[in-house]
């Protein structure tokens, strides 16, 4: 708790204490904790003078934010139509097997969170997997281990 509040204070000190700073502050806190602890949301609301309901809305609206703890590494498998047709279900199964978790879960050691998304806008590269913001296209289910180990360089891109 104290650790959380110390970090909140540190992040808030980087910005003007105004409503406009809300998203930037939440991004920094998400980066720091890999999720947004409730006490942090409350403190940010008070300091920026934003109603808690509004802070909560922002925190739940953007996919980049999470209210539950995420692992150090975020693995996102696209299961949109183009990726589905090109084998996304097999990739997802391989990752679930490798990590020992289901989509939407985090490994017990807090290393990996596995998520699915419905089209990343890179259908020409289907099937697509994003690991820590790096896009990997034309992924083979047999190569998921190298993705997790970071052996496949991939392409850094902004998540949509
Ligand atoms: S369906 Fe996967 S990127 Fe579009």
Angstrom CA distances, 94 to 53, 119, 135, stand at 39, 19, 18
Q: Which of 119, 129, 155, 158 to mutate to test the pocket of ligand 1 (most atoms within 8 A of CB)?
A: 119
The domain segmentation of the chain, as residue ranges, is 2-61, 73-156
What six digits make up the tokens of 133? 């913001």
**pLDDT 10s digits, 65-115:** 999 989 999 999 999 999 999 999 999 999 999 999 999 999 999 999 999
From 3.30.390.50, 3.30.1600.10, 3.40.50.300, 3.40.30.10, which CATH number describes the 73-156 domain? Answer: 3.40.30.10
Burial class for 68, CB neighbours closer than 10 Å (0-12, 13-18, 19+):
exposed
What six digits make up the tokens of 16? 């003007």
Q: Which of 77, 83, 135, 158 to mutate to test the pocket of ligand 1 (most atoms within 8 A of CB)?
A: 83
**pLDDT 10s digits, 20-49:** 999 999 999 999 998 999 999 999 999 999
């Amino acid at each position: 708790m104290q650790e959380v509040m110390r970090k909140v204070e540190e992040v808030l000190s980087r910005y003007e204490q105004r409503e406009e700073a809300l998203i930037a502050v939440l991004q920094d806190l998400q980066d720091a904790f890999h999720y947004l602890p409730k006490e942090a949301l409350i403190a940010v609301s008070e300091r920026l003078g934003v109603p808690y309901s509004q802070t909560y809305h922002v925190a739940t609206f953007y996919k980049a934010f999470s209210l539950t703890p995420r692992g150090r590494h975020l693995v996102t498998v696209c299961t949109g139509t183009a990726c589905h047709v090109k084998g996304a279900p097999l990739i997802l199964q391989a990752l679930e097997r490798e990590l020992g978790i289901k989509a939407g879960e985090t490994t017990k050691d807090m290393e990996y969170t596995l998520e699915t998304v419905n089209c990343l806008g890179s259908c020409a590269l289907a099937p697509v997997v994003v690991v820590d913001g790096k896009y990997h296209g034309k992924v083979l289910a047999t190569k998921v281990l190298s993705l997790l180990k970071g052996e496949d360089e991939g392409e850094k891109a902004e998540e949509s």
